Chain A
Amino acid sequence: DGGITQSPKYLFRKEGQNVTLSCEQNLNHDAMYWYRQDPGQGLRLIYYSQIVNDFQKGDIAEGYSVSREKKESFPLTVTSAQKNPTAFYLCASSAAGVGQPQHFGDGTRLSIL
C-alpha cells in the first residue's frame, strides 16, 4: 500500500545525544515536511523540502537538521542543541500541483531520559 512510514514509533534520547527520525514515502511525492506537535497544541513546521537536494527552514528549525538525498526519504535529526526535544514528530508529503493536500505518517514520539 502507498503511504508514509515513520520509524521508530517511540524514541528515547539521553541528554546531549543526537537522534535521527526516519520518514519514507512511496507515493512519489515531490514535497516533504516535518512538523512538531506538543500536547494540546497544533502542529508547527520544522523543515520542508520541495525537491531532492533542497530544503528550507520552517518556523522552528533551530536545533534540527534534515537531508533530502532521495525523493522518498526525508530524515530529521534532533541535535543536542534542541533544548526541548520531547514532542510528537510528524512527517508529511504532498504531490506537485496547486492545492495538493499533505498526507501524514503516524508520527514518532520522542522522549528525554
Chain B
Amino acid sequence: DAKTTQPTSMDCAEGRAANLPCNHSTISGNEYVYWYRQIHSQGPQYIIHGLKNNETNEMASLIITEDRKSSTLILPHATLRDTAVYYCIVRVATGGNQGGKLIFGQGTELSVKP
C-alpha cells in the first residue's frame, strides 16, 4: 500500500500556481519524498525529490513541513501541458538503496484550464 495520501483531483487556471498537497504521516527518518507525473500512455516523469529541506528545480518547488508529515508540490506557472496525474511517493528501501521500489498510489489528477 502507498504510504501517501493525495486529493483525487484538482483544477488550476492556466498561468496560476498549482499547489498539490500530500500527506505522509508515517514517513521514516531516512525516507525521501519523490514527485512524479504521468500523462496518459506515457512513462512517469520525474519532477523533484527531497528529504528534509525545501527544494527547487526548473520544473517545480517542493515544500516539506518541519515534521516531514506532509509536503506540497508547487508548479509556479501552470500551463495546459501540466495536465497529468501527479504522484507523491515515499521511497521504500528494498535490499539496499538501489533496490528501493517506488509505490505509486492513486495520485492527483490535475486539470489546467484556460
List chain A positions with a Cβ less than 8 A from chain B: 4, 6, 30-31, 33, 35, 42-43, 45, 48, 50-51, 56, 58-59, 88, 90, 92, 94, 96-107, 109
Contacts and interface: CB of A to CB of B under 8 A. Distances in A.
B104 A42 contact: yes
Residue among B32, B44, B49 facing the most chain A CB atoms (10 A cut-off):
B44
A51 B95 CA distance: 13
B43 A90 contact: yes
9 contacts: A6-B43, A42-B105, A42-B106, A50-B95, A99-B91, A104-B45, A104-B46, A106-B43, A109-B41
Nearest to B30: A98
A107 B43 contact: yes
Interface of A is mostly: strand
Nearest to B48: A101
Interface of B is mostly: loop
A99 B32 contact: yes
Interface in B68-114: 87, 91, 94-99, 101-107
B44 to A, nearest CB: 5
Contacts of B94: 45, 48, 56, 58
Contacts of B106: 42
A98 B49 CA distance: 12
Given A92-B102, A97-B97, 7 more contacts: A35-B102, A45-B94, A45-B101, A58-B101, A96-B98, A104-B44, A106-B42
Given A50-B96, A97-B97, A43 B42 contact: no
A22 to B, nearest CB: 14
B2 interface: yes
